[in-house]
């Protein structure tokens, strides 16, 4: 159903996941959803993130909840949106913290594809949503899919930095199967939504990520791209 012209390193993952009963049922459900409702992101963008980076290149994982549910925003990357849109509140707060943390102004570029290409895996745990209905595709199988994706990445990479924004991301992280995740490489804070921005503010995740990347011998992220 979805465009799966993913990077070659994901081939084994998708070959295996397509055989899973939960995945087959979820795809059948989503086929009907796209036929009968307005669903975001566009079906060709649902797996966009897998087209931007090889699993072996991932050094940082940031977990979102589900895509933006307003027209034109969701583009297949957590927190990211198209540059012809008005900036969503959570993304605005992320950029405010980036500016405070590293003095980087990212407000004119709302598309975070370049972060993903550098190894920052921005994945929504729930990868589709009905227009105007946040969390409408919760519990259809996406959360299980995402956990399998992250377990696959963890097997491919000895050291991964997890940046957990909010309790939802922390629950997904705590459900991961592989117990060799390095807790010392995990960064936690509140979610950047307007409801918890006062707790997210001054958390400085971007400089912390780069510091930890340097410790494990990886290139820091150019957050200005």
Catalytic residues: 66
Q: Between vectors from CA 177 to CA 12 and to CA 141, what angle results, nearest 5°?
A: 70
The rounded distance, in Å, linking the Cα atoms of 204 and 170 is: 18
Three-state SS sequence of the chain: CCCCCCCHHHHHHHHHHCCCHHHHHHHHHHHHHHHHCCEECCHHHCCHHHHCCCHHHCCEEEEECCCCCCCCCECCCCCCECCCCCCCHHHHHHHHHHHHHHCCCCCCCCCCHHHHHCCEEEEECCCCEECCECCCCCCCCHHHHHHHHHHHHHHHCCCCEEEEECHHHHHHHHCCCCCCCCHHHEEEECCCCCCCHHHHCCCCHHHHHHHHHHHCCCCCCCCCC
Residues 6+ apart with CB under 8 A from 29: 140, 141
């Amino acid at each position: 159903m979805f465009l799966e012209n993913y990077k070659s390193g994901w081939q084994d993952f998708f070959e295996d996941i397509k055989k899973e009963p939960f995945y087959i049922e979820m795809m059948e459900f989503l086929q009907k959803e796209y036929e009968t409702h307005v669903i975001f992101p566009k079906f060709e963008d649902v797996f966009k993130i897998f087209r931007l980076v090889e699993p072996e290149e991932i050094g940082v994982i940031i977990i979102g909840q589900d895509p933006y549910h307003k027209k034109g925003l969701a583009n297949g990357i957590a927190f990211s949106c198209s540059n012809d849109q008005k900036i969503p509140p959570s993304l605005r707060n992320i950029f405010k913290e980036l500016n405070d943390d590293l003095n980087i102004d990212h407000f004119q570029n709302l598309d975070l594809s370049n972060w993903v290409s550098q190894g920052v895996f921005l994945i929504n745990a729930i990868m589709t949503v009905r227009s105007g209905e946040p969390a409408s595709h919760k519990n259809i199988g996406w959360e299980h899919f995402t956990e399998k994706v992250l377990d696959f990445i963890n097997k491919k990479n000895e050291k991964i930095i997890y940046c957990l924004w909010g309790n939802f991301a922390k629950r997904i992280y705590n459900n991961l199967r592989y117990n060799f995740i390095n807790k010392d490489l995990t960064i936690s804070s509140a979610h950047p939504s307007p409801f918890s921005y006062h707790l997210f503010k001054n958390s400085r995740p971007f400089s912390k990520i780069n510091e930890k990347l340097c410790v494990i011998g990886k290139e820091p992220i150019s957050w200005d791209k």
